[in-house]
Amino acid sequence: MPANRHARFAIVRTALVCATAVAFFSPASHAAAQDFPSKLADSVFWKLVTDISESNGYFRSDNFVSNETTFQWVIPELLRTTKPGGVYLGVGPDQNFTYVVALKPKIAFVFDIRRQNMLTHLMYKAIIEASADRADFTSRLFARPRPAGLDTASTPEAIFLAYATVPPDSAAFRKNMAAIRDRLTKQHGFKLSEEDIGTIAYVYEAFVAAGPDINYNFAQRGGAYGGYGGRGRMPSYADLQVATDSDRVHRGYMATEVNYRALKEMETNNLLVPVVGDFAGPKAIRAVGTYLKEHKAIVTAFYLSNVEQYLFQQEDDWRKFYTNVGTLPLDSSSTFIRSVFNNMGYYSGSGSTIRGQQLLASMLAQVKAFNEGRLLSYRDAIETSR
């Protein structure tokens, strides 16, 4: 089941601008000095968000929380095959935070076809910046009083067990929502419309209403479609925060205070940039590529969820996507992270059914295969992954 069925209902489609040249960079270029500042000014951050973003698109699920229980699984291999200090690209909600704290990029961009996802990331940004530690963050995210006994040494299991029976506080919700708005519009000076603020309030209401049990299927305000009801239990926010990688190590951004502080530093320094963008769109990925080349930066990893599954079902959207990726600055260690689910009917090279797992692939190799006409289907993308 998809975490983000990207681009199925895009509002704006434009003709593909043909470009077959791939920006090839040697591995040595990864070590070259990158001229990223350690912090982006608020005006620079907001200009990036607005200049790179495309028109808002539609997606049938609010996608408040991922449904991918194994998204941490590949982190040990990523740490062996990539280097910190590059650029992270991703899609969807907060699972990107876990990849960011693990891979330690200089800057991160998160795409999504929905403006709501960009605004959700701004909600997170405001709450993270205002929260001293993980327990404080959890209190603000779900508008629940902080239980006694939690400190910076608490495990994620202890944190979510402590909050499991704490009811929401309506006064805290109102206070927190006002603080989110003020931080974004007054402190940072981001030009958000009243509709944008209403969308952030809609998302925040969902987190407060459901608490740490919020999952991919959660339907807000009784009418919104949450996801795939009736197809088994989805993991909750709390479930995902206590998950581990393939070495049974907690890698989540809520796993330790070290992880949380790393995320908070990225947010405070305006180095996690949410973008409204269709993977097959004419602007967002290409604009990020231009920006990265100007700053002599290389893409470390691109988390795709299972977006490609839908791109391959939508005429030539998959061709547009791979052409877009070909405009990014890549080297031999640049890696796709993709999610594959067992009901999609695709198989690994060994012939065994892929059951809800993450796969890795060389971005450079797959773009090259696409340009040479050797990557023509979703199955081709999967079978050339590892």
The three-state secondary structure class of 265 is: helix
How many residues are present in the chain?
386
Summarize pLDDT for 150-190 with one digit per residue, the tens. 999 999 999 999 999 999 999 999 999 999 999 999 999 99
Summarize pLDDT for 369-383 with one digit per residue, the tens. 999 999 999 999 999
- The contacts of residue 148 (CB under 8 Å, 6+ apart) are none
The rounded percent of the chain whose pLDDT value lies above 90 is 76
- Whole-number pLDDT of residue 37: 85
Query: Residues 3-22: what's their mean pLDDT?
Result: 36
pLDDT band for position 321 (cuts 50, 70, 90): very high
User: Distance (Å, rounded) from C-alpha 376 to C-alpha 113?
Assistant: 23
**pLDDT at residue 28 tops 80:** no
**pLDDT at residue 125 tops 70:** yes
**pLDDT at residue 345 tops 60:** no
**pLDDT at residue 31 tops 50:** no
The DSSP output letter for 28 is G
**pLDDT at residue 73 tops 50:** yes
- Whole-number pLDDT of residue 59: 74
Cα 24 from chain centroid (whole Å): 25
**pLDDT at residue 225 tops 70:** no
pLDDT band for position 49 (cuts 50, 70, 90): very high
Strand arrangement of the beta sheet that strand 357-362 belongs to: 272-276, 107-112, 87-91, 299-305, 335-340, 357-362
- Whole-number pLDDT of residue 356: 62
pLDDT band for position 19 (cuts 50, 70, 90): very low
Contact 6, 314 (CB under 8 A): no
Query: Residues 106-132: what's their mean pLDDT?
Result: 97
Q: Which amino acid is at 248?
A: R
User: Distance (Å, rounded) from C-alpha 150 to C-alpha 73?
Assistant: 28
What is the average pLDDT value for the chain, to the nearest integer?
A: 87
- Whole-number pLDDT of residue 32: 43
Summarize pLDDT for 195-210 with one digit per residue, the tens. 999 999 999 999 999 9
Higher-confidence position of 246 and 127:
127
The residues spanned by each domain of the chain are: 27-383
User: Distance (Å, rounded) from C-alpha 79 to C-alpha 254?
Assistant: 19
